[in-house]
Amino acid sequence: MPDDVLALQREARKVAAAAVANLDVREDSWVAGYSKPFSRELGERGWLGMTLPRDVGGHGRTPFERFVVTEALISAGAPIAASWIGDRQIGPTLVHYGTPEQVARFVPGIVRGTEMWCLGLSEPDAGSDLASVRTRAVLDGDEWIVDGAKIWTSGAADGDFVYLISRTDPDAPAHRGISEIIVALDSPGITVTPIRDMTGARHFCEVHFEGVRVPATNLVGELNGSWRQVMRQLEHERGGVDRLVSNLALYRDTLEVADRTDPIVRQRIAAIEAGLHTGRLMVLREMLGQAPPGSSAVTKVCCTELEQRITDFVLSVGLDGLLAGRQGRAACYAPAYTIQGGTSEILRNVIGERLLGLPR
Ligand SMILES: Cc1cc2nc3c(=O)[nH]c(=O)nc-3n(C[C@H](O)[C@H](O)[C@H](O)COP(=O)(O)OP(=O)(O)OC[C@H]3O[C@@H](n4cnc5c(N)ncnc54)[C@H](O)[C@@H]3O)c2cc1C
């Protein structure tokens, strides 16, 4: 690793260690670790929008520099949820598909860490089958009128904007009638109801839209062209280091109390370490743009299933009073790894059909 990147990694680890010093829970911090002040600090340090071009307000850094910083923050459990969705996928999406006005309005808030974004994809009857979304947006003069409901919207209770996938042509075939619209969460007609998950946290929400008026200029990219756009956005969502190191802090702490003279324990540690090493190489390949198109499905399946094996290890090997609260929480949270961002079953379908060309 070049000296300057090594120095950046050291600095990011130091900042992350300070951020988690007083936290009881350090796991899954990119979803559940909410701290607006810390996100603003990341913005001030230039650690948001790192790879976005300078001419749109980004920092023009390399993907490897961003990888090093995000790996350090998430591995330690630094509370980055208030800026993660904007940094991971909305910023790059707006730079790719947004109008100059949208870029000028929304990218600065992402880079400064002052505006929080949520993803409005899933609905009560449309999760895996995203093409069946029913939330409708109808053009009325220079405004969209949005009606419908989203569910599992992480961060909606604290967020500023939801990136909404909505049906804009009810008569077109399912994949061809959906569009992407930016909706301010404080718009009249929006009701946000947090949902308590098994860990007791309330990060995801139901969001209802009743006659919500949105400027027509908030359409991102092509009208009725969301399917192609969202597939590209999911590449950012599925292939990153957040899918590998969500519970690394608990694993490392468990190693301190595990009986490492036990040959079975040693074997399991060896398997996990090998998985972490392989997963890191897969993520790096995605980050550096060296992976074949669609391979983020493979990366997500391998890395999130490893996170679940780490949870099994933590529960069976490291039983210790000091870690008990974190272990119980880990047991409740672990199913989420292979659900959020696309389930392993769906991703195996994608791998079989689109990557390997197997018959349906
Ligand atoms: C922690 C967490 C955070 C989330 N955050 C967000 C968010 O911020 N925004 C958002 O929009 N969504 C979010 N989600 C929702 C997530 O994307 C969906 O839960 C996921 O896509 C699955 O959809 P579903 O829950 O409707 O399950 P369903 O689609 O009903 O699937 C149920 C089961 O059937 C299986 N299944 C379905 N179809 C097939 C098929 N064709 N072949 C094989 N198996 C199939 C699935 O794999 C699954 O096991 C979040 C979820 C979690 C757990």
How would you write the pLDDT of the chain (360 residues) with one tens digit per residue? 899 999 999 999 999 999 999 898 899 999 999 999 999 999 999 999 999 999 999 999 999 999 999 999 999 999 999 999 999 999 999 999 999 999 999 999 999 999 999 999 999 989 899 999 999 999 999 999 999 999 999 999 999 999 999 999 999 998 899 999 999 999 999 999 999 999 999 999 999 999 999 999 999 999 999 999 998 888 888 999 999 999 999 999 999 989 999 999 999 999 999 999 999 999 999 999 999 888 999 999 999 999 999 999 999 886 666 667 888 899 999 999 999 999 999 999 999 998 999 988
Residue whose CA is at the smallest distance from ligand 1 atom 1: 336
By C-alpha distance, which of 268, 245, 196 is closest to 26?
A: 245
The residue whose CA is least distant from atom 29 of ligand 1 is 128
Q: Is residue 237 annotated as part of the catalytic site, yes or no?
A: yes
End-to-end alpha carbon distance in the chain? 44
| Pocket lining for ligand 1, CB < 6 angstroms | 31, 118-122, 127-128, 152-154, 204, 336, 339-340, 342-343, 345-346, 349
Atom 18 in ligand 1: residue holding the nearest Cα: 127
Q: How far is the CA of 349 from the centre of ligand 1 (A)?
A: 14
Which of 27, 123, 235, 237 is labelled catalytic?
Answer: 237
Give the Å distances, CA to CA, from 309 to 46, 252, 301, 305, 342. 34, 14, 12, 6, 18
Tokens of 332: 């409740």
pLDDT, position 320:
61
Atom of ligand 1 nearest to the CA of 336: 53
- pLDDT (0 to 100) of residue 158: 96
CB neighbours of residue 149 within 10 Å: 17
CA of 171 to the centre of ligand 1 (A): 25
Residue with tokens 């069946």: 132
Separation of alpha carbons 35 and 27, rounded Å: 14
- Predicted confidence at residue 24, as pLDDT, reads 85
Ligand 1 centroid distance, CA of 343 (Å): 6
User: Which among 349, 347, 252, 230 has a CA at the least distance from the CA of 300?
Assistant: 347
Atom of ligand 1 nearest to the CA of 156: 8
Give the integer Cα–Cα distance in Å for 324 and 334. Answer: 15
What is the amino acid identity at position 238? R
DSSP-derived 3-state class of residue 90: helix
Burial 189-210 (b: 16+ CB within 10 A, else e): ebebeeeebebebebbbbbbbe
Category of 46 on φ-ψ map: left (φ > 0), alpha (ψ -120 to 50) or beta: left
356 with 222: CB under 8 angstroms? no
Q: Residue 25 has what pLDDT? A: 85
Q: Give the pLDDT score at 318.
A: 62
Residue count of the chain: 360
Q: Which atom of ligand 1 is nearest to the CA of 130?
A: 21
